[in-house]
Amino acid sequence: MLWGKGRRFLLGLLPPLFAGAVLTAVLYAAGNYQAIPGVWLLLYGAAEVTGGAYSIRLIPVMGICFMLLGVAAFFVPLEWGNWLLALGFGGLQIGFGIAIGLWHGG
């Protein structure tokens, strides 16, 4: 896993996830809770796009969808944040997982 495509995937995935963890801590400490769902969705999407560059085409497409949800999360009330997180980490993951399973065998 740490060689070839797996290594490239991790090298593309980990920096945006690390940035998301740091920004979450900073936003939480500052009391800016409204920005956290947008940051999570946006940076997870960036991680999917960069990590998925070495994978099947659906992975970066899923990342772009996460990024669009993340941008939307910055412009909606805080109460909508959990719903957008559920839509992304629940709906998008399940929907793309089914598509990958059907079209690419898992």
d(CA 78, CA 95): 25
Instruction: Encode pLDDT of 6-21 as tens digits.
Output: 787 788 788 888 999 9
Is the model more confident about 51 or about 67? 67
Residue ranges of domains in the chain: 5-104
d(CA 102, CA 45): 22
Q: What is the mean pLDDT of residues 76-100?
A: 94
Q: How far is CA 39 from CA 53, 72, 77, 99, 101, in A?
A: 21, 11, 15, 26, 28
| Cβ–Cβ < 8 Å for 60, 92 | no
Please give the model's pTM, rounded to 2 decimal places. 0.87
Residue 1, pLDDT > 60, answer no
